Amino acid sequence: QLQVAESGGDSVQIGGSLRLSCAVSGYSTSTKCIGWFRQAPGKEREGIAAIHTGTGSTYYVDSVKERFTVSQPSNRNTVYLQMTSLRPEDTAMYYCAAESATSCRNGGLMKTIYKYWGQGTQVTVSS
């Protein structure tokens, strides 16, 4: 059983930056695939980035490549999503998800591979 909690959402101006945090807790000694998803009003939840805690491999959807970076500090129970050059279309509720896994299947961007989800943190980008 894992618990997942996101934080760091805020309102920012176009072109601004924001760092989201994902804290994963609970008893598990296995490596994990940790994914970031977002859902805008009226739209499907989409996978945007993922990282495997064992290999450090990262995965991104094209719309955030070169702008967003997913990383893990030495504390492997935390994962960051650094977002730069933010656009109005990045406005959404952002979710973190975790699953014990030896690799991130399908690049970790499919919501069906994750069992554990956080409650979400809101990011709003405006002028």
Q: Are 50 and 58 in contact (CB under 8 A)?
A: yes
Those residues whose C-beta lies under 8 Å from the C-beta of residue 8, and which sit 6 or more positions away, are 18, 19, 20, 21, 121
77 DSSP assignment: T
Mean pLDDT of the chain: 94
Q: Are 109 and 59 in contact (CB under 8 A)?
A: yes
Tokens of 90: 């990045």
Q: Are strands 92-100 and 121-126 parallel, antiparallel or unpaired?
A: antiparallel
Nearest one of 26, 50, 25 to 36, comparing CA atoms: 50
Per-residue pLDDT of the chain (127 residues; tens, 9 = 90+): 889 999 999 999 999 999 999 999 886 667 889 999 999 999 999 999 999 999 999 999 999 999 999 999 877 789 999 999 999 999 999 999 999 888 898 889 999 999 999 999 999 999 9
Tokens of 96: 């973190």
The pLDDT assigned to 77 comes to: 85
